Structure 1
Amino acid sequence: MAKERDQHPTNKDKKLLVGVIWNFSTELKLIFMSLLVIFTLATLLPFTPSSFSLSASDFRFCISRFSPALPVNITSTTAVNTSPENTTEPEILDRVLDNGVIKRTFTGHGSAAYNFVLMSAYRGGVNSFAVIGLSSKPLHVYGHPSYRCEWVPLDPTQHPVSTTGLKILTDWGYGRIYTTVVVNCTFPSLSAANSGGNLILHATTGDPSLNLTDSIPVLTESPNSVDFSLYSSPEKKKKYDYLYCGSSLYGDLSPQRVREWIAYHARFFGDRSHFVLHDAGGIHGDVFEVLRPWIELGRVTVHDIRDQERFDGYYHNQFMVVNDCLHRYRFETKWMFFFDVDEFMYVPEEKGTVSEVMESLEEYSQFTIEQMPMSSRICYSGDGPARTYRKWGFEKMAYRDVKKVPRRDRKYAVQPQNVFATGVHMSQNLQGKTYHKAESKIRYFHYHGSISQRREPCRHLFNDSRVVFENNPYVLDTSIRDVGLAVKTFEMRTIGDRLIRTRQ
């Protein structure tokens, strides 16, 4: 039997082969079916429409989905069309100077920042305009951008006129990606026929490698829309005696602190005053409810400027915002004040009222106001702890910092018709005199950081006239505290008890 098995070895092999095929019959069917599908597709592809055609790269993509990942040390190359019509000479970025130094060059592509970002434009006189916006700060540092203004009358019988625009960089040294630019357009001669027209700003980059000019329509005046008496009669009575131009408001502001600030200053400046606030995200729902009664009375105007956050300028584009406010309202008010919502103006009783102080400063186009720094962390508890916590913020934050410093920040007020552009702490572009010694007549108390705390500000209570806290000396100053009751009474008489339940 053994000999018979040796004589017929193929029978065993055949049985083995059949067994293998039988065991893997399912897998073999799948392989044959896959091959059949691939060959069928290859046969039908030439006859299919071009929009449904598949390229070799598509097959490679499909195959790559099933192929193992390449080792990290393997590099791949991409085929490049090197036909003569598509080939360009590569730019040489490096060159060796005579002294052996390798000179590197940098080639810009696209736009990193806009040439000009328009916020507003206003007529500033019979033949002058002001355009307020942002521009790329590197462009102004390393280039020579320029501006040209063109007035195109709506009346076809009148010819367009052009003039060179005078640019004023109000935040020089503070700008970030963008810097604030105020362009003054003064035309030597401009018709006062009040027939309407369009102001075009031609902004040229001044880039030596790529000098471009953007023509930007910035202002349109319809016929008979301009009151030229505003500019020809400076003595004409203004709508307001005092107008407040606020900086960008941002963050999670305290509704109670805003309530106190607006009530205090509405009383301080009187009925012929107005407050312009700029919302950069800080006037959330609770703060707006505090402002609503004053808006309804016509005492407050809110501008939503949240869109400016797309352009990275200093302090939420504070310089651009105050310049817009200056030119928008310059002919509506006699005096314009610039300070923040954590700062309180104050006139000593012996100096009279705010109107008497302002009358004494009429010969000046601008005056600066000295700061009285107050602590927003320590409070006066002379009324007892329980009553202290029920007081308004400026009533209990009564300790003034008396540490000697070379100079503190100042705020200011201007007669706006004499100012061409302005800043945060003062204007450097005006006609007329500036007065810097008004501290005996008017000053402001600064409660730094108190406006951004939505909680009880008092963490440390004292009942002394002098305090040393964290190595800083403080003295008790009740100047603002003493008018607390009068401010609360004024609010109640003016808007009622609508805000009595305002929370921190």
Structure 2
Amino acid sequence: MVKDRDAIQNPNPKKMFIGIVWNCAPELKLLLSSILFLCSLFTLFQFFPSHLSFSIQDLRHCAALPQPPPPPPPTHINQQDVVLNNGVIKRNFNTYGTAAYNFILMSAYRGGLNTFAVVGLSSKPLHVFSKPTYICQWLPQNITVAGNKILPDWGYGRVYTVVVVNCTFPFPVGDDGSGGRLLLHASTSGGGDANFNLTDTIEALTETPESLNLLQFTAPPKYDYLYCGSSLYGNLSPQRIREWVAYHVKMFGEKSHFVIHDAGGIHPEVMEVLRPWMEKGYVTVQNIREQERFDGYYHNQFLIVNDCLHRYRFMAKWMFFFDVDEFIFVPKKSTIKTVMDSLTNYTQFTIEQRTMSNKLCYLDDHVGKIYRKWGIEKLVYRDSVKGIRRDRKYAIQPRNVFATGVHMSENLLGKTTHDTEGKIMYYHYHGTISERREPCRQLVNTTSMKVGGTPYEVDKTMREVAGAVKRFELRMIGSVLIRTKQ
């Protein structure tokens, strides 16, 4: 009796579940059959042709999972250049498009009352396999013209190539001081697929009311000579930079300026060398490290020199393009002014190279004193091979140039001359700038020799001017750099 009472009070759960299922078997069978039928029907709908009745299509839509609403289009805000606390100008790059970007805007500048230059990068395969186009638009007047694209890097680009878009309107725009905006519509024009085209609208330039200075186009330039440097990268030697800056400030004089572009090479010790000259107003440093995200030729040096050209176009009478291991020289009976005055009728001239050994040092003094000398004092062996073509560097009158390169410009108005031998040259100490150690690898006490089949002879031209450069540096900035390291 007790056992039966316990069974009643504590029924077996398993037996209870079986009992419920047994009693409800018809209803469960109906429910499971309905679910199986609906699943089969939805599966068959996926294979029905689209031209069948509208009701079937409606059922297919009902069977599909609900789709979330599309996200709102992103709002693109251009990053502006920033002046850092140490006086360095940090440049920013604004991207448009996807994958290899359709266009990467670096800058845009006025070239006159009715003309502008837009400087940037674009996908190199896009320009190789397609014909991308550009439309320039000025607001609020809503005037549009076709942009003239220039590819100044001669095919040297890698993932990206440099593009300078010239926007010239048929009449002046924004010259009344009312301000305005320059839009660039960059179209892929197929990009390999003739039926597919994408257009990115880029706000290239914004002028606020009363910000346009009309005198900049007609006033005499602020500088006689302005240096546009290529991208500096690597572990640069502070001492070699010190020599280069002091030498060229002395050569070009008070009305000169040097724009240095930091692509990773301006480490703190190099900055210490540049700072006194920045404080004197001779040097501007621009931080362009952000461009490393975009794989272009030699840290995008073609992009950088074109930005420099248009940024300072109306600020300089002459603009020079060469590297920081190269030293411009004019003969003793000349000055940089007399040479440049003789070339005024040319928009561009090239400069011959004198290649110096970066390893051989002339031992005509006590061995211990050699290592305390500047590089231009001890590296005096010049490559004397005759009849070979050597790379040239160049100078331009920038107001007549639309785009430029590393060794010369092909986009200009006016004449170019290469007949400058004996007038102006540059001494090239290849590789010495990128090594932070003593450059002398071999001390030699003969005036001529061969190394690896290359003949060298002593050329003391730069050694003879080193003393005057040292005294000039001391007079200009004092002894703050006297302990500069290699």
Bin the TM-score by the shorter chain.
Answer: 0.7 to 0.9
Give the CA RMSD over aligned residues. 1.9
Instruction: Kindly provide the CA deviation profile for residues 124-145 of structure 1, in whole angstroms up to 9, marking residues without a partner as x.
Output: 0010000000000000000110
Once the two structures are TM-superposed, the CA of residue 370 in structure 1 deviates from its matched residue by 0.5
Once the two structures are TM-superposed, the CA of residue 387 in structure 1 deviates from its matched residue by 1.2
Once the two structures are TM-superposed, the CA of residue 224 in structure 1 deviates from its matched residue by 1.2
> Which residue is equivalent to 1:190?
172
> Which residue is equivalent to 1:14?
none
> Which residue is equivalent to 2:275?
292
SS of equivalent to 1:357: helix
- In 2, distance between residues paired with 1:499 and 1:149? 49
- In 2, distance between residues paired with 1:332 and 1:483? 29
Listed as ranges, the matches of 1:348-427 within 5 Å are 348-350=331-333, 352-404=334-386, 406-427=388-409
- In 2, distance between residues paired with 1:462 and 1:223? 66
> Which residue is equivalent to 1:129?
116
Instruction: Kindly provide the CA deviation profile for residues 455-486 of structure 1, in whole angstroms up to 9, marking residues without a partner as x.
Output: 00001011221111222100101111100100
SS of equivalent to 1:501: coil
Task: Using structure 1 for the length normalisation, give the TM-score.
Answer: 0.77
- In 2, distance between residues paired with 1:134 and 1:391? 43
My pick for the range that moved more, 490-499 or 383-392, is 383-392
CA contact (8 A) 1:172 1:179 kept: no
Q: Is structure 2 residue 452 aligned with structure 1 residue 470?
A: yes
Letter in 1 for 2:346: Y
Letter in 1 for 2:235: D
My pick for the range that moved more, 110-119 or 432-441, is 110-119
> Which residue is equivalent to 1:330?
313
Letter in 2 for 1:302: V
Q: Which one of 482, 485, 504 corresponds to residue 467 of structure 2?
A: 485
When residues 223 and 379 of structure 1 are mapped into structure 2, their CA distance, relative to the original with a 3 A threshold, is same
> Which residue is equivalent to 1:244?
227
Once the two structures are TM-superposed, the CA of residue 88 in structure 1 deviates from its matched residue by 12
Listed as ranges, the matches of 1:276-287 within 5 Å are 276-287=259-270
- In 2, distance between residues paired with 1:178 and 1:367? 29
Which runs of 5 or more residues in structure 1 are unaligned? Answer: 1-35, 37-80, 90-109, 154-158
Letter in 2 for 1:259: R
- In 1, distance between residues paired with 2:110 and 2:137? 13
> Which residue is equivalent to 1:99?
none
- In 2, distance between residues paired with 1:132 and 1:488? 39
- In 2, distance between residues paired with 1:262 and 1:87? 78
> Which residue is equivalent to 2:137?
150
Letter in 2 for 1:320: L
Once the two structures are TM-superposed, the CA of residue 386 in structure 1 deviates from its matched residue by 1.3
When residues 475 and 142 of structure 1 are mapped into structure 2, their CA distance, relative to the original with a 3 A threshold, is same
Q: Which one of 142, 155, 162 corresponds to residue 180 of structure 1?
A: 162
When residues 87 and 251 of structure 1 are mapped into structure 2, their CA distance, relative to the original with a 3 A threshold, is farther
- In 2, distance between residues paired with 1:86 and 1:403? 79
- In 1, distance between residues paired with 2:44 and 2:372? 82
Q: Which one of 180, 186, 191 corresponds to residue 203 of structure 1?
A: 186
When residues 84 and 483 of structure 1 are mapped into structure 2, their CA distance, relative to the original with a 3 A threshold, is farther
Task: Using structure 2 for the length normalisation, give the TM-score.
Answer: 0.79
- In 2, distance between residues paired with 1:88 and 1:259? 78
Q: Which one of 219, 231, 253 corresponds to residue 236 of structure 2?
A: 253
Letter in 1 for 2:470: K
- In 2, distance between residues paired with 1:327 and 1:82? 64
- In 2, distance between residues paired with 1:272 and 1:435? 25
- In 2, distance between residues paired with 1:474 and 1:268? 27
- In 2, distance between residues paired with 1:82 and 1:316? 56
Listed as ranges, the matches of 1:210-229 within 5 Å are 210-229=196-215
Larger radius of gyration: 1
Instruction: Kindly provide the CA deviation profile for residues 130-179 of structure 1, in whole angstroms up to 9, marking residues without a partner as x.
Output: 000000000000011000000003xxxxx211110000000122000000
- In 2, distance between residues paired with 1:88 and 1:284? 67
- In 2, distance between residues paired with 1:282 and 1:310? 16
> Which residue is equivalent to 1:457?
439
Letter in 1 for 2:406: V
Letter in 2 for 1:255: P
- In 2, distance between residues paired with 1:373 and 1:82? 78
* Identical counterparts, % of pairs: 62
When residues 201 and 467 of structure 1 are mapped into structure 2, their CA distance, relative to the original with a 3 A threshold, is same
- In 1, distance between residues paired with 2:330 and 2:48? 76
- In 2, distance between residues paired with 1:160 and 1:126? 16
Instruction: Kindly provide the CA deviation profile for residues 223-244 of structure 1, in whole angstroms up to 9, marking residues without a partner as x.
Output: 111111222x2xx321100000
Letter in 2 for 1:113: A
Which runs of 5 or more residues in structure 2 are unaligned? Answer: 1-13, 15-41, 51-96
- In 1, distance between residues paired with 2:216 and 2:274? 30
> Which residue is equivalent to 2:55?
none
- In 2, distance between residues paired with 1:87 and 1:475? 88
